[in-house]
Structure 1
Amino acid sequence: MREIAINGKKREATGKKASKLQRKEGLVPCNLYGEVKGQNGQPEALAFSAPMSELRKAIYSPHVFVVNLNIDGKECKAIIKELQFHPTTDALLHADFYEVNETKAITVGIPVKLNGLAQGVREGGKLSLSIRKINVTAPYKQIPEVLNVDVTNLGLGKAIKVGELSFEGLELATPAQVVVCSVKETRASKAAAATAE
């Protein structure tokens, strides 16, 4: 996985009013959930803020990043777990980070890349990608930037499902019956089939 650095500062004041003031200054309110647990056994959040200028590189990108967070000089590695956007302006309102290490397994969505020329496309069909990402579970060091799926033998009217795929060192968390890609019939392929008959 790619890595990116983001600097943050602890938030002393929380709540709607404080968050609004921070956004006006170009900062985004964030929480970091890590190893520290509260009295109820749930992970305790560290409230901090980070510049939108730095977050933008990690958010508006097709890649999935491990974030090297530096919060007031304290460093840790994390992944972006959840983002909240304004319903009408699409402005980023809040970001949640989840602390990671080299041994703890995490679940993240990794982009799918289709490789090869499908048999069904050679027969006039159209290749269609149904899902852009597949959720995988593994320690972050084992997670690749993309999941390569070979479609060379994919015939006309056929599909590849998540359950048919396997990647070394990764556990697939997306349901097995979900279709990754398929080759759909087109007028050209139907005409070619009729001519062949």
Structure 2
Amino acid sequence: MKTFVLEGKSREIAASSADQKRSLSALRKNAQVPAVLYGGEKVIHFSVSFDGIRPLVYTPEVFLVELTIDGAKKMAIVKDLQFQPVTDELLHVDFQEIFADKPVMIEVPVVLSGYAEGVKAGGKLTLRMRKLKVKALYSNLPEKLVINVDKLGLGKSMQVGELTFDNLELMNAKNAVVCAVQLTRAARGAAAAAAAGK
């Protein structure tokens, strides 16, 4: 998995909620995004520049994040993003610290490869789950999960329980449908015509 390098500065947490709101507002006015790092010995409150974090947030790709906060390096993943509901402005980011010897859970994009038998027969291939939740050591995390659909027939689907990948565990429900080849009107018509011609 690719690594994204990000610099952060630790920030003080104000005693009162009013002071806290003011300090967060001041941060955002200076193009800084408040962030929190969980999962280590202590919770770290810090901020990152909006320009620095933008390529990490606005991408379909998944990254490991090499965070440097006041000179200290930590490995992390993005756990949660909060946006302003009306303006869609990025308000807050939660990171989870990760360690080489502890498995981590993260969603990884799904990519379909091959030419499904059902598509050759006139069906339409649909991807139902764009990401799957995986559990693995971060050294084993893939950038994407490639699923071969060559043998997927017309009207058939592929479920999570049918998939296996080396060195990682899929955490979604086993019966969740990842992709399917749907019968199109044209394929139905061709099947009906073939049946009538017999």
TM-score normalised by the shorter chain: which range applies? over 0.9
Match of 1:29 among 28, 31, 34: 34
Q: CA RMSD in A?
A: 0.9
The percent of aligned pairs where both chains have the same amino acid is 45
Q: Which runs of 5+ in 2 are unaligned?
A: 15-19
The 4+ residue runs of structure 1 with deviation greater than 2 A are none
Letter in 2 for 1:73: G
Q: Distance in 1 between matches of 2:79 and 2:158?
A: 28
- Following superposition, the deviation at residue 17 of structure 1 comes to 1.4
Q: Distance in 1 between matches of 2:171 and 2:111?
A: 18
Q: 1:92 matched to which residue of 2? A: 90
| Number of residue pairs the alignment of both structures matches | 190
Match of 2:23 among 18, 27, 36: 18
SS of equivalent residue, structure 2 residue 8: strand
Letter in 2 for 1:150: N
Match of 1:135 among 133, 142, 146: 133
Superposed, 1:1-197 pairs within 5 Å as: 1-14=1-14, 15-36=20-41, 44-197=42-195
Letter in 2 for 1:7: E
SS of equivalent residue, structure 1 residue 166: coil
Letter in 1 for 2:82: Q
- Between Structure 1 and Structure 2, which shows a larger proportion of strand residues? 1
CA contact (8 A) 2:123 2:181 kept: yes
Letter in 1 for 2:72: K
Q: Distance in 1 between matches of 2:29 and 2:80?
A: 21
Q: Distance in 2 between matches of 1:69 and 1:7?
A: 6
SS of equivalent residue, structure 1 residue 68: strand
- Following superposition, the deviation at residue 34 of structure 1 comes to 2.9
CA contact (8 A) 1:9 1:49 kept: yes
Q: Distance in 2 between matches of 1:20 and 1:13?
A: 13
Q: Distance in 1 between matches of 2:89 and 2:43?
A: 23
Q: Distance in 1 between matches of 2:178 and 2:85?
A: 29
SS of equivalent residue, structure 2 residue 4: strand
Q: Distance in 2 between matches of 1:175 and 1:17?
A: 43
CA contact (8 A) 1:113 1:147 kept: yes
- Following superposition, the deviation at residue 5 of structure 1 comes to 0.6
SS of equivalent residue, structure 1 residue 154: coil
Deviations 1:26-51 (A, max 9, x none): 00000011321xxxxxxx42100000
CA contact (8 A) 2:13 2:45 kept: no
What is the TM-score when the length of structure 1 is the normalising length? 0.94
